């Protein structure tokens, strides 16, 4: 059943929302004829969905996938081309739009699992690089072909790739614009698991359920600690920040009390909604 405590975002047109398991949101990019390419309005739509998801106390984890043979081909290059008109304000060009970071640069509060059902190119690949877990179909293909089109992958993937796979692999991938298989991305550590195409969402839901059965507050705190360790240079500062901010918030909530009490009483905990 869909959550009811927080009003959902305006009914999206590019995205389809569903709830495949308790505390789990499934977000499906649904523009298959255009390989789920992201036009500007779709990016704003996605931005609104993630903000709503983070504030919905009855949701703990989300899954992002695509309809058809693509996860996402990234930015809509036809719209980008039109935005390059000589008489247009440079600030209005697609790559400069504030919405051009709905998932590839999202920090957020709650985890997102990518269920990569097919092509993940350009911005679609940048989405994947920034997701918390990644399940990929065995025939999925990944690439940052921007250099072949005269643009650059400016959605946040480049520094994140460096931290995940190292300078030389990131350079090979981004500077050549070549494609990579799901198996190769798994070897590099970008993909957690490769499964048959018809099982990709099912496996992503399985991961999401494993996460969602845990304390909503502890999920937020633990993810924040992981993200700080990834985003910042100092390991100790990341630990200190997590203790000072996120763990302090966790200790003020009801779920830590319930989790410890349930352990002592040898029963399953009954979690409250995530803190706001």
pLDDT band at 69 (very low <50, low <70, confident <90, very high): very high
Q: DSSP for 160-187?
A: HHHHHH-HHHHHHHHHH--EEEHHHHHH
State the DSSP H helix or E strand holding residue 212, giving kind and residue range, or none if neither: helix 200-212
Give the sheet arrangement for strand 141-143, strand by strand: 70-72, 119-121, 141-143, 179-181
184 is catalytic: no
Task: Identify the DSSP state of 26.
Answer: E
Q: Which of 42, 122, 124, 126 is catalytic?
A: 126
- The Cα 170–Cα 148 span in angstroms is 16
pLDDT in the model for residue 24: 97
pLDDT digits (tens, 9 = 90+) for 242-273: 999 999 999 999 999 999 999 999 999 999 98
Q: Which of 37, 70, 73, 75 is catalytic?
A: 75
- Residues whose CB is less than 8 angstroms from the CB of residue 52 and which lie 6 or more positions away in sequence, other chains included: 6, 8, 9
Contact 165, 188 (CB under 8 A): yes
- The Cα 20–Cα 28 span in angstroms is 12
Contact 14, 207 (CB under 8 A): no
The residue among 265, 245, 254 whose CA lies nearest residue 215 is 254
pLDDT band at 40 (very low <50, low <70, confident <90, very high): confident
Residue 77 has pLDDT above 70, yes or no: no
Comparing 51-60, 85-94, 218-227, which segment has the lowest mean pLDDT?
85-94
Residue 87 has pLDDT above 80, yes or no: no
- The Cα 235–Cα 155 span in angstroms is 25
Report, as an integer, the average pLDDT of 108-135.
96
Q: Which of 56, 146, 203, 246 is catalytic?
A: 146
Residue 10 has pLDDT above 80, yes or no: no
21 is catalytic: no
Q: Which of 123, 124, 155, 156 is catalytic?
A: 123
pLDDT digits (tens, 9 = 90+) for 164-220: 999 999 999 999 999 999 999 999 999 999 999 999 999 999 999 999 999 999 999
Task: Identify the DSSP state of 266.
Answer: T
CA angle 19, 23, 26 (to 5 degrees): 35
For residue 179, what are the β-bridge partners? 143
Positive or negative, the Cα torsion across 246, 6, 117, 162? negative
202 is catalytic: no
pLDDT in the model for residue 100: 56
| Higher local confidence (pLDDT), 231 or 189 | 189
Mean pLDDT of the chain: 89
pLDDT in the model for residue 216: 96
State how far the alpha carbon of 259 is from the alpha carbons of 4, 44, 183, 223, 272, in Å.
25, 37, 38, 18, 10
75 is catalytic: yes
Residue 238 has pLDDT above 70, yes or no: yes
* pLDDT more than 70, % of the chain: 87
Give the sheet arrangement for strand 193-195, strand by strand: 15-21, 24-29, 61-66, 112-116, 133-137, 193-195
pLDDT in the model for residue 224: 95
Comparing 88-102, 127-141, 175-189, 238-252, which segment has the lowest mean pLDDT?
88-102
């Amino acid at each position: 059943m869909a959550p009811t405590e927080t009003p959902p975002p305006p009914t999206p047109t590019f995205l389809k929302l569903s709830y495949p398991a308790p505390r789990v949101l499934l977000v499906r990019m649904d523009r298959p004829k255009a390989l789920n390419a992201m036009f500007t309005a779709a990016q704003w739509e996605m931005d609104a969905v993630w903000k709503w998801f983070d504030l919905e106390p009855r949701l703990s984890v989300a899954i992002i996938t695509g309809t058809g043979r693509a996860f996402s081909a990234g930015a809509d290059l036809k719209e980008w081309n039109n935005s390059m008109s000589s008489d247009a304000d440079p600030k209005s060009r697609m790559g400069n739009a504030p919405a051009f970071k709905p998932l590839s640069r999202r920090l957020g509060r709650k985890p997102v699992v990518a269920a990569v059902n097919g092509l993940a190119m350009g911005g679609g690949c940048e989405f994947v690089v920034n997701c918390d877990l990644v399940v990929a179909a065995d025939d999925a293909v990944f690439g940052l072909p921007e250099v072949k089109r005269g643009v650059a992958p400016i959605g946040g993937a480049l520094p994140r790739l460096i931290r995940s796979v190292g300078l030389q692999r990131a350079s090979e991938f981004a500077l050549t614009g070549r494609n990579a298989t799901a198996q190769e991305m798994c070897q590099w550590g970008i993909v957690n698991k490769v499964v048959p195409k018809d099982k990709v969402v099912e496996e992503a839901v399985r991961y999401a359920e494993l996460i969602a059965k845990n304390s909503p507050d502890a999920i937020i705190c633990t993810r924040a600690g992981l993200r700080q360790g990834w985003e910042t240079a100092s390991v100790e500062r990341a630990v200190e920040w997590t203790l000072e901010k996120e763990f302090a918030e966790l200790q003020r909530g009801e779920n830590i009390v319930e989790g410890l009490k349930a352990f002592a009483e040898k029963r399953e905990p009954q979690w409250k909604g995530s803190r706001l």
